[in-house]
Structure 1
Amino acid sequence: MAATDFEGRLQDDLLATTAEVEAARESDAALVDARPVDFYRDETQSPAARAPGTIPGAVNLPHHAALVERDGAYYLDPERLKANIEALGLDPEAPTVAFCNTGHWAASGWFQLSEVGGLESVSMYDGSMAEWAREDDRPLQLAERGTVTVGDLVD
């Protein structure tokens, strides 16, 4: 096999900024938290984020929920994934932003939503909860307490 040159380029339209996430909260865009449910429900907190919880209005599509184990390896089950996306009631034509703690699970979420799920306008918030929780006045959704601000939860 002969070597080949590859030249990648950043596709800025696939990344969402914090300002775009704030705007998405006020529009018909969907916010999809790709973290496991215990992070989404604020039962677990990433050390990268200043506070637990999720972005208000977000739905949860855990990055691993459509994986199946077979012969010691994990595979994405497209039918299970499509059923999970359908259960969330996402509009396939509306803008959708995937996020997690620091962007790694959000990358999987972006791929699942866009490339397998067929949603048309998916971006990834690579700063995710680590960036969202930097400002004290940003809102967080907690499973038991409702909406609070980051500043309500940190010293």
Structure 2
Amino acid sequence: MGIELDDHSQFADYAHPERFVSAAWLSARLGMPGLRVIESDEDAFLYDIGHIPSAVRIDWHNDLNDPVQRDFIDGEAFAELMSARGISRDDTVVIYGDRSNWWAAYTAWVFELFGHPDVRILDGGRDAWMGEERDTSFAVPEYPRTEYPVVERQDAPLRTFASQLLAETPAQLIDVRTPEHYTGTEEAAQDGGVGTLRHGHIPGAINIPWGNSVFPNARLKGKDDIAQVYKDLDPVVPTVVYCQLGESAAHTWFVLKHVLGFEQASLYDGSWAEWGNMVRVPVEREGH
């Protein structure tokens, strides 16, 4: 059985309030049996300079990716990762991180690919916790090893591949990057991000930057404000999101799925890092 939900009034309006917790809720329950806290950052070393007490680290790059194939780990490797971190299948898992929870949302999405029953995001992530000057720790917790079951990853319907986009443009395709990256300006091409040989966007995509759903302090806006951002979209038709590397689009996927209740939201995790380096794929770019 999972731990009781956070009854914060803002979450009550969300389509899936069970997927969100506040810093106050989490602080009051640290150390509770059946609760595991995970930090997942863009900068994995942030964990070393202070983290939420009892939190373990999952490095999206080293822990979630297959060391040989360019893909996620399989069910056996995921079970080993969970067992080594002391996480059971029936644990409530709360994930947080830097960059407004980009990689925390990405990690939560991977957990959902493996069907972990109770995965939640700390609203505001690391910034919210540190901003409220809550307790931190340098200690790396050591939990007894568990026997997490081997559950094969189910990519459909939460994951979309380039081959699917080439075969058919989804009803709604959202590029969540900056307008400069979307239009493929020279400034965006030279900004030092993930290297791609072509710049622009996937034909048929509209541009709704991920940051429209959050406040400057990284916390999510209320449902009505977020709904206004996506007011021109249909929540019941297939909707695919992408960005540069998959991380900020995972944040948008989490918002669409769990705040607004989009029924067929999917993440193209290959994103522009893949599409912008592929041969003979269509690209739209401003002025071309």
Correspondence list, 1:67-82, <5 A: 67-69=214-216, 73-77=217-221, 78-82=223-227
Match of 2:284 among 126, 138, 141: 141
What is the distance in 2 between the residues matched to 1:144 and 1:116?
Answer: 36
Q: Sort the Cα spacing of 1:137 and 1:11 in 2 relative to 1 into closer, same or farther, 3 A.
A: same
Q: Sort the Cα spacing of 1:3 and 1:66 in 2 relative to 1 into closer, same or farther, 3 A.
A: closer
Matched, 1:19 2:166: no
Per the alignment, residue 53 of structure 1 pairs with 200
- Greater strand percent: which structure? 1
Per the alignment, residue 96 of structure 1 pairs with 239
What is the distance in 2 between the residues matched to 1:115 and 1:122?
Answer: 10
Per the alignment, residue 272 of structure 2 pairs with 129
Q: Over alpha carbons, which structure has the higher Rg?
A: 2
Instruction: Provide TM-score, normalisation by structure 1.
Output: 0.79
Counterpart amino acid of 1:118? G
What is the distance in 2 between the residues matched to 1:104 and 1:63?
Answer: 10
Per the alignment, residue 116 of structure 1 pairs with 259
Shift of 1:11: 3.6
Counterpart amino acid of 1:85? Y
What is the distance in 2 between the residues matched to 1:134 and 1:76?
Answer: 33
**When the two structures are aligned, how many residues end up with a matched partner?**
138
CA-based RMSD: 1.8
User: Unpaired runs of 5+ in structure 2?
Assistant: 1-31, 36-86, 90-110, 115-152
Match of 2:174 among 32, 35, 50: 32
User: Unpaired runs of 5+ in structure 1?
Assistant: 146-155
What is the distance in 2 between the residues matched to 1:117 and 1:37?
Answer: 23
Q: Does structure 1 conserve the Cα–Cα contact (< 8 Å) formed by 2:172 and 2:237?
A: yes
State the Cα deviation string for residues 42-69 of structure 1 (Å, max 9, x = none): 1213433221101011011111112113
Q: Percent of pairs identical after alignment?
A: 31
Shift of 1:41: 1.7
State the Cα deviation string for residues 59-106 of structure 1 (Å, max 9, x = none): 11111112113xxx32111322210101xx222211111100111111
Per the alignment, residue 152 of structure 1 pairs with none
What is the distance in 2 between the residues matched to 1:132 and 1:108?
Answer: 20
Counterpart amino acid of 2:184? D
Q: Does structure 1 conserve the Cα–Cα contact (< 8 Å) formed by 2:194 and 2:245?
A: no
What is the distance in 2 between the residues matched to 1:138 and 1:42?
Answer: 15
Counterpart amino acid of 1:102? L
What is the distance in 2 between the residues matched to 1:109 and 1:22?
Answer: 22
DSSP 3-state at the match of 1:108:
helix
Higher relative contact order (CA 8 A, sep 6+): 1
